Amino acid sequence: MFIRKALRVHWDMELSEFGVFFEGYPEARMRHVEVLHKMRPARTDYALALKLSKNLGISQSQATVWIERVHNHRKASQGSDI
């Protein structure tokens, strides 16, 4: 995604720093998970976690936690799952 390039160029950030940076933007992370899902709705949670971890510079286990948060949020607000 383009955000990685922008952060690396403008703020000289390393990929390993992205996880901490994005921690302050939980709504953006949830939207990012939803966008990735909409791009490939048949993608498994495992594959989604791999993609999310790469995009945001977080571990796969952290990405799995964010995916679960999105699942729970959607269940609570819409009564459906991703």
Give the single-character DSSP code of 41: T
- Provide the sign of the torsion angle of the four alpha carbons 33, 76, 65, 19, taken in this order: positive
Per-residue CA distances from 32 to 12, 24, 47, 65 (Å): 22, 14, 14, 14
Q: What is the pLDDT of residue 51?
A: 92
Q: What is the pLDDT of residue 43?
A: 94
Q: What is the pLDDT along the chain (82 residues), one digit of tens a residue?
A: 567 777 778 888 887 787 788 788 888 888 888 999 999 999 999 999 999 988 888 889 999 999 999 889 888 887 555 5
| Domain boundaries along the sequence of the chain | 2-78
Question: Is the pTM higher than 0.85?
Answer: no
